[in-house]
């Protein structure tokens, strides 16, 4: 039954409950059908909360602040259906009458002052912790179970992602039916980085124009900001500290290409960029100074599903003055490298004519190594192998099963009609094989960096294992048996003796390669494929051009930016739907800013105020969720209804905090290292006597039961 009306400062006549609750949940509403089907959405909210708290024995009170109730409509206590027994949950409805509402400048145009209403509930809450939320939210069972374990601590601000769901949550359904509907009808995610449409699998959809092709099977998870315009017809994505990639890897592995440039967060640079596998083990570590193209060999997931990795920035963290985000690196491409198209090989007769000098040198070099008798028996075999290799290489020095990558290779050159590439230091290879039993075949010759002297060629896999050490003396035909998975693999070549500069050329030319390919070992089947594993491999980085000089662009702001240090970027999206603090912390900060205007961005201001008052943000992770029941476009913030909402507010002459004003306040708090407190000690209508309805667990006549 409902109690008589009492001043909020007096004890509630709810004798069935004793002691202060662990958690107070505060929301506000009025019976005006705001957003469409308000009572239906609110009924789901109260039913689910009461049922879940009893299911998990979470001691709580639900406080609904009924602001400026419409004269012609029933109060919420009568308009909503209430259970006969609220169990471990107390329900309190606090009414802010029309007389108080009429004090405000926009009283006629703005029927509900959301943040002042929430403050009134927060100020009167009795729980050890207080959650500010809204009346169209459903909580996942995992989240309620977590809260029931009483893990919360003072000095933290708890936030969470919001999952927006279709509006037809079954009002008369059971708790499990309502939660299952929410879980299976998600249309949008409001995460720390922005708002995202989701795939049926729950992944963040690519935008129509993005940095990956639509059919790539690549999805951007936590840590990636939405795509932004970057030059004519181009998009880019920023990352801060960590960014997750989820990928359907091409069959038998793929090569991921990343085109990236440093941003203002990593000034003055250069800065490291790491890749970690799903277990947190490092698989790549690059140093980026400007626009750079990176390649990474990615194995298929062991279970055949999505492969995942984390891109990690060990340093960075410098802010901007006019953007609260921390923008460490900008990516302009993230996609798979397609295999080389097949090339029709030249005839061996034509190849022999074009390369007669190199073939003659090869035979001469082999005679010195083998001796006369062995050389004579090799006269047919060696030229045939060399011709086959050279014929497969086409316009470059690589056959169809191989591709070079990285700064270790110089561009192709030719001399006396012979094509070759010089190598300096360590050079990366991509090998594409149809069989795990293959061979690396190549023709290689010492260069001036090694004094044209013999050297040992080291061949290693992407995981660091050295698979061969081959002596090279003069022009040498090399055949290295490999045991690699079929598909794409990475190998690295280098001389075990470091090269040195030589006169007449600033480059260090260790050795040169006249031809290179991957060949299947004849007579060996593919049965060994199951016994091989493909490692991750970072293929190095190629510098490019075109990145913005952030040092020059921000020169006039450099001193002010230095004063900001390395501040935090908080989770602001949908913060009005879930902000959870200790009651003492709410009181210390004095709640939300009580500005006589529309509530937009006031919840974001509060988050930064709490942060600069010393509270540490903690974002609760999956599978903990809140579900937001979709409302009418323009009645509240949605990406699709944002413009309509602002037009409606402007037409009514209601003021609101602009995004630029929000950023200015954030920058001020970052600069001063102190919060901006807006309210006086009387915040939350503390000096007003508000009427309160308490719902007791004693079976009120006429109230239908819920689960």
- Going by pLDDT thresholds of 50, 70 and 90, the confidence category of residue 578 is very high
Residues in CB range of 89: below 8 A, 6 or more apart: 49, 50, 53, 54, 58, 60, 61, 62
Question: Which two tokens mark 688?
Answer: 């007003």
- pLDDT top residue among 662 and 636: 662
The pLDDT score that the predictor gives to residue 649 is 83
| CATH number of the domain that residue 310 is part of | 2.60.120.260
Least confident of 118-122, 381-385, 413-417, 650-654: 381-385
272 neighbors 314 (Cβ within 8 angstroms): yes
Q: Is the pLDDT of residue 643 over 80?
A: no
Please indicate, yes or no, whether residues 513 and 584 belong to a single structural domain of this protein: no
User: Is 155 part of a structural domain of the chain?
Assistant: yes
Q: Is the pLDDT of residue 90 over 80?
A: yes
Q: Is the pLDDT of residue 153 over 70?
A: yes
Please indicate, yes or no, whether residues 361 and 292 belong to a single structural domain of this protein: no
User: Is 540 part of a structural domain of the chain?
Assistant: no
The pLDDT score that the predictor gives to residue 8 is 35
- Going by pLDDT thresholds of 50, 70 and 90, the confidence category of residue 393 is confident
Count of domains observed in the chain: 3
* pLDDT one-digit tens code per residue, 22-77: 999 999 999 998 878 899 999 999 999 999 999 999 999 999 999 999 999 999 99
Q: Tell me the mean pLDDT in the region 6-18.
A: 37
Q: Which domain holds residue 362?
A: 348-533
152 neighbors 158 (Cβ within 8 angstroms): yes
Nearest to 283, CA basis, from 608, 547, 536: 536
The pLDDT score that the predictor gives to residue 546 is 83
Q: Is the pLDDT of residue 269 over 90?
A: no
Please indicate, yes or no, whether residues 431 and 509 belong to a single structural domain of this protein: yes
| CATH number of the domain that residue 57 is part of | 3.90.550.10
Please indicate, yes or no, whether residues 259 and 215 belong to a single structural domain of this protein: yes
Q: Alpha helix (H) ranges present in 642-687?
A: 642-651, 659-672
User: Is 432 part of a structural domain of the chain?
Assistant: yes
* pLDDT one-digit tens code per residue, 216-254: 999 999 999 999 998 888 899 999 999 999 999 988 889
Percent of the chain with pLDDT over 90: 67
Please indicate, yes or no, whether residues 450 and 417 belong to a single structural domain of this protein: yes
- Going by pLDDT thresholds of 50, 70 and 90, the confidence category of residue 632 is low
User: Is 181 part of a structural domain of the chain?
Assistant: no
What is the b/e burial string over 492-518, where b = at least 16 CB atoms within 10 angstroms of the residue's CB? bbbbebebeebeeeeebbbbbbbbbbb
Please indicate, yes or no, whether residues 110 and 130 belong to a single structural domain of this protein: yes
* C-alpha to C-alpha distance for 668 and 647, rounded to whole angstroms: 29
Please indicate, yes or no, whether residues 460 and 578 belong to a single structural domain of this protein: no
- Going by pLDDT thresholds of 50, 70 and 90, the confidence category of residue 15 is very low
116 neighbors 678 (Cβ within 8 angstroms): no
Please indicate, yes or no, whether residues 292 and 366 belong to a single structural domain of this protein: no
- pLDDT top residue among 506 and 224: 224
- Going by pLDDT thresholds of 50, 70 and 90, the confidence category of residue 637 is low
Nearest to 81, CA basis, from 39, 25, 28: 39
- pLDDT top residue among 159 and 636: 159
The pLDDT score that the predictor gives to residue 371 is 53
Residues in CB range of 305: below 8 A, 6 or more apart: none
273 neighbors 329 (Cβ within 8 angstroms): yes
C-alpha distance across the termini of the chain, in Å: 17
Please report, to the nearest 10 degrees, the dihedral formed by the alpha carbons of residues 285, 288, 294, 297 taken in order. 0
- Going by pLDDT thresholds of 50, 70 and 90, the confidence category of residue 395 is confident
Nearest to 520, CA basis, from 415, 465, 605, 439: 439
Please indicate, yes or no, whether residues 299 and 423 belong to a single structural domain of this protein: no
Please indicate, yes or no, whether residues 239 and 121 belong to a single structural domain of this protein: no
The pLDDT score that the predictor gives to residue 356 is 66
* pLDDT one-digit tens code per residue, 481-496: 887 776 788 999 999 9
The pLDDT score that the predictor gives to residue 367 is 54
**Adjacent-strand bridge partners of 515:** 443
User: Is 188 part of a structural domain of the chain?
Assistant: no
* pLDDT one-digit tens code per residue, 329-384: 999 999 999 887 766 666 666 666 666 677 767 766 655 555 544 444 454 566 77
Q: What is the mean pLDDT of the chain?
A: 87
User: Is 239 part of a structural domain of the chain?
Assistant: yes
User: Is 707 part of a structural domain of the chain?
Assistant: no
Please indicate, yes or no, whether residues 411 and 476 belong to a single structural domain of this protein: yes
DSSP state of 70: -
The pLDDT score that the predictor gives to residue 188 is 94
Q: Cα dist. 499→464, 496, 540, 552 in Å? A: 21, 9, 19, 37
* pLDDT one-digit tens code per residue, 277-320: 999 999 999 999 999 999 999 988 888 889 999 999 999 999 99
User: Is 626 part of a structural domain of the chain?
Assistant: no
Exposed (0-12), middle (13-18) or buried (19+): which is 75, by Cβ within 10 Å? middle
Cβ–Cβ contacts within 10 Å for residue 92, how many? 24
Q: Tell me the mean pLDDT in the region 536-548.
A: 87
Please indicate, yes or no, whether residues 332 and 371 belong to a single structural domain of this protein: no
């Amino acid at each position: 039954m409902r109690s008589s009306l009492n001043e909020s400062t007096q004890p509630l006549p709810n004798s069935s409950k004793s002691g202060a609750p662990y958690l107070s949940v505060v929301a506000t509403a009025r019976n005006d059908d705001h957003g469409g089907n308000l009572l239906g959405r609110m009924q789901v909210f109260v039913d689910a909360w009461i049922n879940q708290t009893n299911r998990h024995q979470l001691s709580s009170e639900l406080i609904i602040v009924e602001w400026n109730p419409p004269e012609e409509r029933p109060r919420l206590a009568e308009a909503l259906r209430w259970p006969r027994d609220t169990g471990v949950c107390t329900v309190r409805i606090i009414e802010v009458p029309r007389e108080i509402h009429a004090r405000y400048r926009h009283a006629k145009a703005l029927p509900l002052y959301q943040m002042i209403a929430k403050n009134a509930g927060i100020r009167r809450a009795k729980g050890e912790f207080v959650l500010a939320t809204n009346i169209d939210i459903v909580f996942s069972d995992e989240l309620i179970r977590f809260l029931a374990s009483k893990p919360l601590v003072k000095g933290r601000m708890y936030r969470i992602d919001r999952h927006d769901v279709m509006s037809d949550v079954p009002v008369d359904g059971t708790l499990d039916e309502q939660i299952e509907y929410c879980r299976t009808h998600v249309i949008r995610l409001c995460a720390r980085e922005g708002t995202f449409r989701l795939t049926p699998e729950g992944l963040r959809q690519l935008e129509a124009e993005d940095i990956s092709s639509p059919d790539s099977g690549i999805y951007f998870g936590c840590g990636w900001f939405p795509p932004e315009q970057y030059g004519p017809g181009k998009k880019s994505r920023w990352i801060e500290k960590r960014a997750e990639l989820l990928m359907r890897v091409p069959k038998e592995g793929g090569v991921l290409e990343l085109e990236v440039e440093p941003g203002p967060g990593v000034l003055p640079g250069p800065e490291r960029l790491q890749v970690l596998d799903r277990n947190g083990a490092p698989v790549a570590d690059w140093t980026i100074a400007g626009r750079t193209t990176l390649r990474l060999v990615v194995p298929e997931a062991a279970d055949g599903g999505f492969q995942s990795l984390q891109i990690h920035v060990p340093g960075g963290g410098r802010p901007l003055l006019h953007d609260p985000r921390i923008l460490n690196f900008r990516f302009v491409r993230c996609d798979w490298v397609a295999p080389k198209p097949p090339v029709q090989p030249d005839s061996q007769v034509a190849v022999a004519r074009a390369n007669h000098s190199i073939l003659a040198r090869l035979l001469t070099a082999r005679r010195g190594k083998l001796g006369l008798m062995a050389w004579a028996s090799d006269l047919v075999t060696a030229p045939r192998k060399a011709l086959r290799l050279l014929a497969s290489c086409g316009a470059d020095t690589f056959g169809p099963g191989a591709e070079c990558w990285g700064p270790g290779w110089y561009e192709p050159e030719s001399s006396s009609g012979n094509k070759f590439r010089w190598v300096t230091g360590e050079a990366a290879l991509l090998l594409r094989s149809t069989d795990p039993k293959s061979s690396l075949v190549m023709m290689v010759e010492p260069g001036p960096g090694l004094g044209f002297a013999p050297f040992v060629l080291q061949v290693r896999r992407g995981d660091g294992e050295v698979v061969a050490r081959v002596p090279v003396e003069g022009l040498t035909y090399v055949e290295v048996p490999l045991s690699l998975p079929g598909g794409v693999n990475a190998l690295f070549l280098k001389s075990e003796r470091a090269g040195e500069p030589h006169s007449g050329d600033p480059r260090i030319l260790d050795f040169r390669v006249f031809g290179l390919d991957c060949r299947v070992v004849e007579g060996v089947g593919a049965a060994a494929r199951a016994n091989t594993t493909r490692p991750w491999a970072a293929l190095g980085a190629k510098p490019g051009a075109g990145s913005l000089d952030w040092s020059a662009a921000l020169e006039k702001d450099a001193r002010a930016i230095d004063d900001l240090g390395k501040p935090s970027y908080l989770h602001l999206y949908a913060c009005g739907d879930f902000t959870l603090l200790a009651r003492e912390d709410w009181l210390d900060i004095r709640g939300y800013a009580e500005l006589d205007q529309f509530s937009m961005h006031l919840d974001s201001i509060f988050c930064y105020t709490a942060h600069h008052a010393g509270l540490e943000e903690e974002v609760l992770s999956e599978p903990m969720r809140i579900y937001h029941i979709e409302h009418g476009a323009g009645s509240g913030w949605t990406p699709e209804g944002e413009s309509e909402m602002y037009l409606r507010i402007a037409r009514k002459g209601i003021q609101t905090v602009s995004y630029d004003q929000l950023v200015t306040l954030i920058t001020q708090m970052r600069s001063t290292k102190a919060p901006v407190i807006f309210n006086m000690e009387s915040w939350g209508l503390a000096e007003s006597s508000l009427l309160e309805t308490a719902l007791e667990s004693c079976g009120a006549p006429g109230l239908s039961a819920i689960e």
